[in-house]
Chain A
Amino acid sequence: MIVNLYPLKTFKLPIIAECINPDMLKGKTLDDMRRLELWEGNKRRTLGELFKIEISNPASSSENVTIIVNGDVSRVKRIGAGMKSGEIIIKGNAGMHLGAEMHGGKITVYGNALSWAGSMMKGGAIEIHGDAGDYLGAPYRGSKEGMRGGKIVVSGNVGNEAGAYMHKGVIKIYGNAGQFTGFRMRGGTIYVQGSCGGRAGTCMVDGAVIVVGALESAPPTFTFEGVKNKARIDENEAVEASFYLFVGDLTENGVGKLYVARDRNPHLSNYEKLL
């Protein structure tokens, strides 16, 4: 079953729409869907009041739901939060907490996503074709439960603290990353193809941050372990290039790995004298 959603207006107020989730729409009729509750500012609304809903291909299995959101939903928060199966395709920008705590299924965004995309994710996949905001895959305020599985791929740039408190899983960023990428990481891998802001991997205990582009500066609390020719992203994928390998963070007695491409970071060449 494919459910098409069209925003009926340009949203100005923040909307919390946990009902835009394949698990919630599973087995429901069009009228049931229209009656699903969401919040616009401090007022209760229904899905039918804010979105035009069209069901195409109803004959196919209602167990396998695909939601296609056509339009800008950057004010709509918590789309696909906690989803376990199915697929969401957003043809526009997505709001905060996209796919927060998701366990399975797939979300594709043909636009940008705001902060906390894939926050505390446990499984599944998120693909963002534009940029992502801060705290990609990181937990909400005060929590130390980071990403525990799944995969996030961002084609554009991401903000600060991507993959903070990450335990498991993979984050691939093809653009640039902000500061504190992989802050207090305990496992998993973050791959940054573009340049990366400073403090990458600080306070990490385990896991790996791979920076193929320029890194602003290497944290002073990491030890230089030498030059490596390969960095592994997951079981099936590895990057072959000349990398400086730093291990840390010393302040947390960590053994996390920070790979930094040698050719793009001549300012780190002074570490070579330690070899």
Chain B
Amino acid sequence: MSVVTAVTCPVCGCLCDDIELTIHDNKVVKVKNGCAMCEAKFMGYSSEHRLLKPMIRKNGELVKVSITEAVKKAANILAEANYPVLYGWSNTSCEAISVGIELAEEVGGVIDNTSVVCHGPSLLSIQEVGIPSCTLGQVRHRADLIIYWGSNPWSSHPRHIERYTAFSHGRFKKSAWKNYVTKIKALVGRKKVQSAIKRLFVKEKIPSAVALSNFRHTPYLQTGKNSRKLIVVDVRRTKSAEIADYFVQIEPNKDYELLQALRALVRDQELEVDNVAGVPVEYLEEIVDAMVSCDFGALFFGLGLTMSGGKMRNIDAALSLVRDLNMRTKFVIMPMRGHFNVAGANTVFTWQTGYPYAVDFSLGYPRYNPGETSVVDILLRKESDAALIVASDPISNFPRKAAEHLTENPLIAIDPHMNVTAQVADVVIPSAFAGIEAAGTAYRMDHVPIPLKKVVEPPKGVLPDETILQRILAEVKKLKQANVREEA
């Protein structure tokens, strides 16, 4: 039995690098420091759904074949295709992504990563407005105001609050954890009193949705003078909202209006309306006061902002708000990235092609125009004629028509698991888990590269994504050269 320390967790964009694993007989038996998602991945990666042998569909059935045969078949499909798509990439290492981009160029296809269904709109707006950002270390040590907008880190990035924001103990800012514990006790007491009152005097009048008192309801308002303030903006009272000093519950799909109203207030403009997105302007003025009077503010936004009505323009407004706030104080903004290496996928794509996602190599050079060259739109228009999916499961989460088109054409899946995409694929190649069975590099949500460790050996015959892709690339090059010779 051995203990491996400082392991990077390959689950979410936080990339916590303080995990301790106990290994026994080439298996992880104990996980220390990780959140529930981290533990679930390290303990459950080797489940019964694990793929161990390459397969090819013959007469409608997936048949086990050798890795050489599977690689040849995959290379054939890609080399013959007129408009293949190569999708996934956010759950593998940067080294594999790099080979993937070379493969896309070689076959003249469209390469896209999962940003297209998560933070793609953020990237489009960043290109238009720019992004004032920093590393998470800066936030941990200096930020005294944290905003989570359309994001519930308590559930989606469980250690984000603890490691980098409200509950982290920074060099210059103290953790709000003790205040939180005190407040949680007060809340429990208060709830007990409320339920007792309800039992005695039934039918309490429910306050109207836009009444100011409804927004001041939060029991945590005004924590200690030196501690950090936390603002949560969401359509529902999430677990993260429960710990916030200010919670702004907005009407769904009205984020843009609220952001614009905040921008106007930051610029000392007067609004002619009483409430925006269901929030009284008076309460917004309080929030703007908190924003303007902080020393270092950080706005984190999630898919609640990027994928609700307005999409990229919501981010446009959020980035502009932070730009306006920087005229009054120091403020930064950062997207809450989901997959552990989606920031890495964007970074590697940008190094090699100039664009962060949705890159089309069909004309021989990289072109980028999401909406035209993004995979979901290509599939919805039924334009592609083959697909390679690496470390992703689009069949289970793409729009139904897009998923249907994927199944209508030759489909290659490279994945450690027998997921839905692998089940309907024509070629299935098992791969090693990046960050557990294969080493590599991944980028944290603040674009800091962090090494992934290999802690156990992969099952016999199972190769890392990078090696599989290199073999497919070599095979495609051979086929192309043979074609050139034939034509000559």
Spell out A's residues near B (CB within 8 Å): 12-14, 16, 39-43, 75, 77, 96, 115-116, 134-135, 140-142, 144, 179-180, 183, 199, 202-203, 217, 219-221, 223-224, 249-251, 271, 274
Contacts and interface: CB of A to CB of B under 8 A. Distances in A.
Contacts of B325: none
Nearest to B372: A96
B383 A14 contact: yes
B362 A41 contact: yes
Contacts of A221: 260-261, 263-264, 269, 271
A30 B448 CA distance: 58
Contact of A251 (B107, B267, B361, B369): B267
B264 A251 contact: yes
A224 B364 CA distance: 52
A179 B257 CA distance: 13
A144 B127 CA distance: 11
Interface string B224-267: 00000000000000000000000000000000110011011001
Nearest to A14: B383
Contact of A75 (B269, B272, B383): B383
Contact of B385 (A13, A180, A251): A13
Nearest to A40: B82
A249 B260 CA distance: 9
B432 to A, nearest CB: 31
Contacts of A115: 371-372
B385 A141 contact: no
A220 B127 contact: no
B127 A142 contact: yes
Interface of B: 81-83, 107-109, 124, 127-128, 256-257, 260-261, 263-264, 267, 269, 271-273, 276, 309-310, 313, 316, 320, 324, 361-364, 368-372, 381-383, 385
Given A39-B363, A183-B313, A224-B272, A141 B383 contact: no
A14 to B, nearest CB: 5
A141 B363 contact: no
Contacts of B381: 14, 75
Contacts of A179: 309-310
Contacts of B370: 141
Contacts of B313: 180, 183, 199, 202
A43 B108 CA distance: 9
A42 B361 contact: yes
B256 A202 contact: yes
Specify which of B276, B310, B368 lies most central, judged by the most chain A CB atoms within 10 Å of its CB. Answer: B310
A203 to B, nearest CB: 8
Given A13-B82, A179-B310, A224-B272, 9 more contacts: A12-B382, A14-B383, A41-B82, A41-B385, A116-B372, A221-B261, A221-B263, A221-B271, A251-B263
B272 A274 contact: yes
B362 A250 contact: no
A219 B83 contact: no
Nearest first, the 3 closest Cβ-Cβ pairs linking A and B are: A42-B108, A41-B82, A41-B83
B95 to A, nearest CB: 26
A40 B83 CA distance: 9
Contacts of A202: 256, 260, 313
Contacts of B81: 42
Contacts of A13: 82-83, 383, 385
Contacts of A271: 272
A75 B362 CA distance: 15
Contacts of B273: 220
A42 to B, nearest CB: 3
Contact of A219 (B109, B127, B257, B371): B257
B363 A42 contact: yes
A251 B371 contact: no
Given A42-B83, A115-B372, A141 B260 contact: no
Contacts of B109: 42
B209 to A, nearest CB: 17
A219 B313 CA distance: 14
Nearest to A11: B383
Contacts of B272: 220, 223-224, 271, 274
B383 A144 contact: no
A174 to B, nearest CB: 24
A258 to B, nearest CB: 13
Most chain B beta carbons < 10 A, residue from A116, A203, A250: A250
Contacts of A135: 371
Contact of A220 (B124, B260, B364, B368): B260
Contact of A43 (B82, B128, B256, B382): B82
Nearest to A246: B272
Nearest to B364: A42
A49 to B, nearest CB: 13
B357 to A, nearest CB: 11
A141 B369 contact: yes
Contact of B320 (A12, A39, A40, A251): A251
